[in-house]
A and B are shown apart, each in its own frame.
Chain A
Amino acid sequence: MGFTEAGAAGRPGGRRAAGRQPSNHLPAPDHTLLEGRGPRARSIGDSRGMPNAMTDQPSDRALADRVVSDGDEAAFQALYLRHTPNVYRFALRLTGGDVLEAEDLMQDAWINAAHGLSRFEWRSEFRTWLMGIALNRFREKARAGGRRIPTVEGEWDVPVETGEPGERIDLERAIALLPPGFRAVLVLHDVEGFTHREIGERLGISDGTSKSQLHEARMAMRRLLAGERRTA
């Protein structure tokens, strides 16, 4: 599953957090070294709770336990530094590149995660759980804003905005220009590696609907990449 593979190899932020001593006011994390392109790579350690022998980093579960039992801010910051870069990129894609909306999603996701840590059963990876919280928040906001995420076949036949007619755009731009529903399924499957069953569970649709929506999304994406203007 792509989700478990996501993340760049070596995380400066994660190493920094693990070595940081608690202070009265922890400085804001520095993510500047985390930008960049790269293949999917395995994350540090096993976020389901096993410590990483290679880096000697505390596991997500150990950090979460410290947060729950002691309100340990340093442990929470370590979790934040470890997972925010990936989940934030995911949130950016969901929101079509809207930085403010993506940061709002992240804020809500982390706060909800912190509140729900004691109830998290660690049946999935922490990052997967955090992405799920962000996705749910995205759906709630879309619903509240009147931007319904289509869940029925055929509802994907909606206009796709582009720049100038004939303008060729890159993949990131094409994803951002997709309607929210297209984007969600495409990002979850083709970028993050969710299966159709997992997508169906998270979006409340069947596996078949997820497949058909992905097909429509890819078609729309190809048209955008080819510089076509989709006006359906």
Chain B
Amino acid sequence: MNDDELTPDEKREFEDLPRQAAPSPFLWERIVHALREDGTLRSPGAVPVRHSASGAGARWLRPWVVAAASMAASVVLFGSGALMGHSLGARSTERTLLAVREQDAAHLAQRVQEAGSAYVSALAALSDLRPELSQGREVGVAAAPARAAFEIRQGREAAVASLYGAAVELSRLAPGDPGVSEVLRLLEDLRFQGNGVDAQRQQTWN
């Protein structure tokens, strides 16, 4: 027998060997699970996430992944929409409030200006009246000189009290302003000098 050649019996034995065998069913499960996991295989309902023109290298997402991704995208869209709406709403409200405040400030400043003008005008008129009284001439139809002098004094006291109140508010508006602080100190001195202002009136204006 030539050792390098198979005998006819040996050849027959080799030919009679089984050509096929059945692996366990789990082998298929393992393979297909791995290929689904890495996106090589898709289940029906999966959508492509990468697909070249030649078709090579296509990768697939399984339906539950697509569903989860869709839900996540919906949540993100809803959240971002709500956030944007809230932001826009907040910005709008903020602008409105700012506008109202700006309008209020302008209005109040205008009122201050108007009140100041009225205050100064009234004081000016009162001042104009004083020389006439001092000269003994009558003012008005029935006003007696003594009463007129009293009212002028009241007007003066009111003017000082108003000026003091205005100085207090100015000091709040501009804390640390040395000019305002000085005016406030002078007015306080002026008010507590007596100067014809009785205790009751001090109480009233304070």
Question: Which residues of A pack against B, CB within 8 Å?
Answer: 6-8, 22-26, 28-32, 34-41, 65, 67-73, 76-77, 80, 84-86, 88-89, 92, 99, 102-103, 106-107, 110-111, 114-115, 118-119, 171-172, 190-191, 211, 215, 218-219
Using A107-B34, A114-B35, A190-B6 as known contacts, say yes or no to A70 and B20 having CB atoms under 8 A apart.
Answer: no
Which of A7, A76, A85 is in CB contact (< 8 Å) with B41? A76
**Is B25 in the interface zone, CB < 8 Å from A?**
yes
The binding surface of chain B is classed by DSSP as: loop
Q: Are A68 and B42 in contact (CB under 8 A)?
A: no
Which of B19, B27, B54 is in CB contact (< 8 Å) with A107? B27
**Is B56 in the interface zone, CB < 8 Å from A?**
yes
Nearest CB of B to A82, in Å: 11
Question: Which residues of B pack against A, CB within 8 Å?
Answer: 3-4, 6, 13-32, 34-36, 38-46, 48, 54-60, 63
Q: Are A107 and B31 in contact (CB under 8 A)?
A: yes
A residues near B17, Cβ cutoff 8 Å:
37, 171-172, 191
Q: Are A37 and B16 in contact (CB under 8 A)?
A: yes
Bound Cα distance from A6 to B27, whole angstroms: 22
Q: Are B20 and A34 in contact (CB under 8 A)?
A: yes
Q: Are B21 and A73 in contact (CB under 8 A)?
A: no
Bound Cα distance from A80 to B29, whole angstroms: 12
Q: Are A38 and B58 in contact (CB under 8 A)?
A: no
B residues near A23, Cβ cutoff 8 Å:
44
Bound Cα distance from A181 to B58, whole angstroms: 39
B residues near A219, Cβ cutoff 8 Å:
3
Using A23-B44, A68-B55 as known contacts, say yes or no to A106 and B23 having CB atoms under 8 A apart.
Answer: yes
B residues near A73, Cβ cutoff 8 Å:
32, 36, 41-43
Which of B16, B20, B28 is in CB contact (< 8 Å) with A29? B28
Nearest CB of B to A149, in Å: 21
Which of B6, B19, B45 is in CB contact (< 8 Å) with A86? B19
B residues near A7, Cβ cutoff 8 Å:
19-20
Q: Are A76 and B22 in contact (CB under 8 A)?
A: no
21 contacts between A and B (CB under 8 A): A23-B44, A24-B45, A28-B29, A36-B20, A67-B41, A68-B55, A73-B43, A77-B28, A80-B28, A84-B23, A85-B20, A88-B27, A89-B20, A89-B21, A103-B24, A107-B30, A110-B31, A115-B38, A191-B14, A211-B4, A218-B3
A-B contacts counted at CB < 8 A amount to: 142
Q: Are A111 and B34 in contact (CB under 8 A)?
A: yes
- With CB as the reference atom, state the residue of chain A lying closest to B61: A71
Nearest CB of B to A107, in Å: 5
Q: Are B23 and A115 in contact (CB under 8 A)?
A: no
Which of A26, A35, A115 is in CB contact (< 8 Å) with B20? A35
Which of A25, A31, A190 is in CB contact (< 8 Å) with B23? A31
B residues near A39, Cβ cutoff 8 Å:
15-16
The binding surface of chain A is classed by DSSP as: helix
Query: A34-B21, A37-B18, A89-B18 provided; 11 other pairs, C-beta below 8 A?
Result: A31-B22, A34-B20, A67-B41, A72-B42, A73-B36, A76-B32, A84-B27, A88-B20, A99-B24, A107-B30, A111-B31
A residues near B21, Cβ cutoff 8 Å:
31, 34-35, 85, 88-89, 92
Which of A41, A106, A190 is in CB contact (< 8 Å) with B27? A106
Chain B CB count within 10 A is highest, among A6, A84, A92, A191, for A84
Nearest CB of B to A12, in Å: 11
Bound Cα distance from A6 to B14, whole angstroms: 12
A residues near B35, Cβ cutoff 8 Å:
76, 111, 114
- With CB as the reference atom, state the residue of chain A lying closest to B20: A85
Q: Which 4 A-B pairs have the closest CB atoms?
A: A31-B22, A69-B55, A28-B25, A85-B20
Nearest CB of A to B107, in Å: 71
Using A68-B55, A111-B35 as known contacts, say yes or no to A6 and B19 having CB atoms under 8 A apart.
Answer: yes
